[in-house]
Amino acid sequence: MPLGYTPEPTGPLDRLYRSISRYASHRMAGGADRQATAEALQGFRRAQRLAYDAVEHVAAQLLPGMTEREAASLLADYLRERGTERFLHRPFAWFGDHSRFDGYSGYGDYHPSDRPLEQGAAAILDVSPILDGYIGDVGYAVSVGPNSELEKAREFMLVLRSEIPAMFASAMTPAEIWHAVNRRITGAGYDTVHAKYPHCVLGHRVFRMKVRKGSSARVGFRAFGWFSLDTNLAFLRLGPSAALSPEHIGRKLGLWAIEPHIGWPGGGCKFEEILVVEEKRCYWLDDDVPHVRNGKRGAP
């Protein structure tokens, strides 16, 4: 799978991958499209709130000169100290033009680096703790000092957030939603940075993992190094139905971690949170989240 998205396949292997993705997304879901119980929703909400607590806590500690690796380590420490048994993926921190993935040539480049944070630069923190088996996967964009481009981007992202549930409630397929969001982003003058994610995902399914204490083994290379071995296996069982990609034409029901990521020259912005898709309604799992609160009070 090449880095980034092109309307037409880049070659025979990409064409084959897209065909398999369309077929498999329609044929398999692995039970991830079942409606979540009230108990499960509470579990996912607790995990998501813990994740937001972590990014807010570390965001308040960011200083010019701190590296991406240092910020990611602070995120991991905070979560482990508060009951996280393991992660869906390792904590990420992307600073400056890394927040729009400039200069990245492959998925292995996405790991936190020694890049220092600069005054006023955009920074994205992304964590996914697993708490009592429930996944909370969030992304949060901040800056140390004023950043007018980031402020405008966050305002746009709140508008986009308000529009996404109606897309899922419509007859649109996940692929059609992906392309509609892409048009919305590019129409506003931004780059679609999540098109550079593995499988170009706008989001992915979340599900309950088996409760297990202790550290998780990771496959330490390329994109697989993002995720623990057990979560890689869980995604493999779900197949292409797990990814909200430009090729997904299957069912939308279930829980999705939606993560639109946009960019402009020199910086990027994203949010990520869980969307609940049921037969008769579609809604964000929790509206008491930092980017919504900040938007209501106009806070940086």
**Calpha distance 59→22 (Å, rounded):** 39
The runs of H, that is alpha helices, within 88-147 are: none
Banded model confidence at residue 21, pLDDT cuts 50, 70, 90:
confident
Q: Which domains does the chain have, with CATH numbers?
A: 12-297 (3.90.230.10)
Starting at the earlier edge strand, list the strands of the sheet with 191-192: 191-192, 261-264, 267-270
pLDDT at 269 over 60: yes
The predicted-structure confidence for 22-67, as pLDDT tens digits, reads as follows: 777 776 655 667 789 999 999 999 999 999 999 999 999 999 999 9
Q: How many CA atoms lie within 13 A of 299 on its CB side?
A: 9
Q: What is the pTM of this model?
A: 0.91
| Residue 145 falls in which region: left (phi positive, over 0), alpha (psi -120 to 50) or beta | left
The predicted-structure confidence for 161-211, as pLDDT tens digits, reads as follows: 999 999 999 999 999 999 999 999 999 999 999 999 988 999 999 988 888
The predicted-structure confidence for 108-146, as pLDDT tens digits, reads as follows: 788 899 999 999 999 999 999 999 999 999 999 999 999
**Calpha distance 50→252 (Å, rounded):** 26
